[in-house]
Amino acid sequence: MKILKNLNKKHIIILLILFILNPALIYSQKSDIWITTILKEKFYDKEGNPLTGKGVVIGDIDSGVDIFHPMFFFADGGEYDWVDVNKDNVFTPEVDGVDFNKNGKLDTEEILEVLEIWNNTYGLISSKQGVYEPDFDFLYLDLNGNKKRDFGEEKGFTENDPTYGEPLFISMDVNKNNKLDISEKIVALKTSKIRAIREKNGTIRRRGIDLIKAEPDSIGHGTGVCGILCGGHYGVQKLHGFAPDAEIVMANIFYDYTPRFVRNFPDLINFIKEEKVNILLFEDGEWMWEFMDGSTEEEELVNQMAREGIFIVGGAGNLADGNMHLKDTLSANQKTTYKFISPKESEGKKVDGAFVSFIWKGPENLVSFWITTPEGETSKEIKQGAEFFSLGNYNIFYSRDVSSRNTVMFRFGFSKQDSGAVNGSWIITAQTENDVVLDGFIVDVSQSWSGSTHWVSDKITSEGTVTFPSTADSIVAVGAYVVNMEWPGYGKLNNLCSYSGIGYNISGKMGTDICAPGHTTFTVEKGNKYGIFSGTSSAAPHVVGTAALMLQYERSLTHTIIRNILLSTAIQDKFTGNTPNTKWGYGKLSPEGALKLLISLY
């Protein structure tokens, strides 16, 4: 579960080890670095304006967004000449300035300072620390002279203050020498690209009213996604999003401690819909206690939105390599055992709860289960209904439920008395009266993709690992492939990421529709940084960003038309093989190919 994926401690440790052992491995690849959010060709709308997503509103169900990051403000605060104070024809920070209040003189608080953006790409993207680079950094006015940029209510700023803080500027580096020359101008930033945020407790913050009060992005995930979507300014930064003139509506996810981990998806979806968005992006993947067959209320809601023309996208999930899914064909009247192991701790949490769900087709097919605890005690036969009972030192919950599409789900929850850890080896024994194809999913309270609690079985498979809500009938489910740098264990360059969900859903729908760059891409990090971003979390906004450009060009496009154009222009190569298939869907996203086809049709 959790937000779909980001660079975690394991990634960082791997990268540091690689750098220490062989720094050339990183630097040798720098000439081949691909900024995946910047198109290889220029495209224009019907009025001759660059395609930047202007006028498009994207709804993102995610962790939140850093509203104070400079990359999330429009450059709509006016154009200014800078003042060469020492008359040397060279821009010198902390010396030169701008007549921001236009009173005809340079006041003390109008000296320009550099807001240096921290480079967290571990050398994959080059930058010079301590040197102002217009394609990387920003300028600001240090109004109070404390040598840092202040922002937010706690520093005395209000909703009515541009950029919610001390004034920010970008440089219009016309000759592209990555310097601010005497003839070049600076442009003030002003308006937030974030139109509205629904906080975890349901409070709605709106631009122009109280957006400055919005809760922070708890883990930085949504900030990274928004950077891919709309971060930065077209033609200015070396790293900017697909659609830097698009706007964002954010619905922040609250995770419960036990499944279903996200219980208010319908509320989040309805909020996004009421905000009149053009695109809806799901940046979450769930598999525990989910039917995975497209039958839920939230999946039906997005199906209706798609019918109304809103483009619906979600990551395929990162479940494929975590040993948390198995598939088996049970033969009638034969007992089969499945073992799983739980650790004592995972991701800093005591593992005081583990959860299992088995799903299969046909409510007429009855499957019996027996649970054996790490202490060797075995339960009674469990076959129907729902119950909470004790077995030795453990508490066990189970429930048998049937979806409107006749998918059966048998849910289990395991905890220990006195809130102890459930660590150890567990055995689940299953027996059926008829042959049944069984899918088994597992997770613990850490909600980790890494498989801290996992199956130990020869039936483990990555087939059928596309996660909810990307199991909805209408959604374009996006898988991830490796770009820029290989990571041991995560897949080869240009090939599918090892964790990217594949296979058919239990409904029979091909799980993944298309794949996009997902490991390793670059984006915004909260706290004035650029960084590495990975996972189907990264891949899905590539598809959304492409769709935003398409919608700027032709506003009448519907979900179905956008989907058809994207899939029909997807790239086949030696890595994808013949498509469509259950790993790559229709192939690799081609933003340029999609736009060319769109322009030829409209």
Span 200-219, pLDDT tens digits: 999 999 999 999 999 999 99
Residue 116 in contact with residue 226, Cβ under 8 Å? no
Sheet holding 79-83, edge to edge: 97-98, 79-83, 185-188, 168-171, 138-141, 112-115
**Is residue 13 over pLDDT 80?**
no
For residue 507, is pLDDT > 90? yes
pLDDT tens digits, 51-88: 999 999 999 999 999 999 999 999 999 999 999 999 99
User: Please, what is the Cα angle at 241 between 216 and 154, to 5 degrees?
Assistant: 25
pLDDT band at 26; cut points 50, 70, 90 = very low
How many Å apart are CA 396 and CA 409, to the nearest integer?
Answer: 16
Query: Smallest Cα–Cα separation from 1: which of 274, 253, 295?
Result: 253
- Residue 19: what pLDDT? 47
Distance, CA of 544 to CA of 313 (rounded, Å): 7
- The separation between CA 430 and the C-alpha centre of its own chain, rounded to angstroms, equals 36
Residue 46 has pLDDT above 70, yes or no: yes
Helix axes 265-274, 297-307, angle to 10 degrees: 20
Once rounded to an integer, what is the mean pLDDT over residues 532-554? 98
| pLDDT for 20 beyond 50 | no
pLDDT score recorded for residue 438: 98
Question: How far, in Å, CA of 566 to CA of 539, rounded?
Answer: 14
- Per-residue exposure over 6-26, b if at least 16 CB sit within 10 Å of its own CB, e if not: bbeeebeeebeebeeeeeeeb
3-class DSSP state for residue 419? helix
Residue 136 pLDDT: 96
pLDDT tens-digit series, residues 258-274: 999 999 999 999 999 99
Q: Shortest CA distance to 544 belongs to which of 55, 41, 192, 37?
A: 37
Contact 196/249 with Cβ under 8 angstroms?
yes
Can you give the pLDDT at residue 1?
47
pLDDT grade, residue 27 (50/70/90)? very low
CATH code, residues 326-449? 2.60.120.1290
Name the pLDDT band for 418 (thresholds 50, 70, 90): confident
- Residue 3: what pLDDT? 61
More confident residue, 7 or 233: 233
- The structure tokens listed for 122 are 């571990």
**Would you put residue 77 in left (φ > 0), alpha (ψ -120 to 50) or beta?**
alpha
- Asked if pLDDT for residue 23 goes beyond 50, the answer is no
Question: What CA–CA distance (Å, rounded) separates 275 from 527?
Answer: 27
Q: What is the mean pLDDT of residues 369-390?
A: 97
Would the pLDDT of 24 be above 60? no
Give bridge partners of residue 61 from the DSSP assignment.
251, 282
At 7 the pLDDT is 41
Place of tokens 């690992």: 465
Where are the domains positioned within the chain? 9-17+35-49+219-320+468-601, 75-190, 326-449
What's the confidence (pLDDT) of residue 505? 98
Question: 29 φ, ψ to 5°?
Answer: -90, -5
The 10s digit of each residue's pLDDT in 121-174 is 999 999 998 999 999 999 999 999 999 999 999 999 999 999 999 999 999 999
Would you give the end-to-end CA distance of the chain in angstroms?
Answer: 40
Check pLDDT > 50 for residue 383: yes
Q: Give the percent of the chain with pLDDT over 90.
A: 92
The residue whose two tokens read 């459930």 is 422
Between CA 281 and CA 537 the distance in angstroms is 10
Kindly write down the DSSP assignment for every residue of 440-456, as one continuous string.
Answer: EEEEETT--TT-SSEEE
When the pLDDT of each residue in the chain is averaged and rounded to a whole number, the result is 94
Q: How far apart are CA 381 and CA 566, in angstroms?
A: 50
Q: How far apart, in whole angstroms, are the C-alpha atoms of residue 406 and residue 361?
A: 6
Quick one: tokens of 325?
């899914």
Q: How confident is the model at residue 351 (pLDDT cuts 50, 70, 90)?
A: very high
Fold of 9-17+35-49+219-320+468-601: Rossmann fold (3.40.50)
Beta strands 112-115 and 407-416 are unpaired
Q: What is the mean pLDDT of residues 448-475?
A: 96
Say if residue 553's pLDDT is above 90: yes
* 524 vs 78: CA distance, rounded Å: 24
C-alpha span between 451 and 346 (Å, rounded): 10
Tokens of 156: 């005395």
Per DSSP, the residues of 344-393 read: SEETTEE---EEEEEEEE-TT--EEEEEE-TTS-B---B-SSEEEEEETT
Q: Is 585:567 a contact under the CB 8 Å cutoff?
A: yes
Q: Which residue spans within 14-173 are E strands per DSSP?
A: 57-62, 79-83, 97-98, 112-115, 118-120, 138-141, 168-171
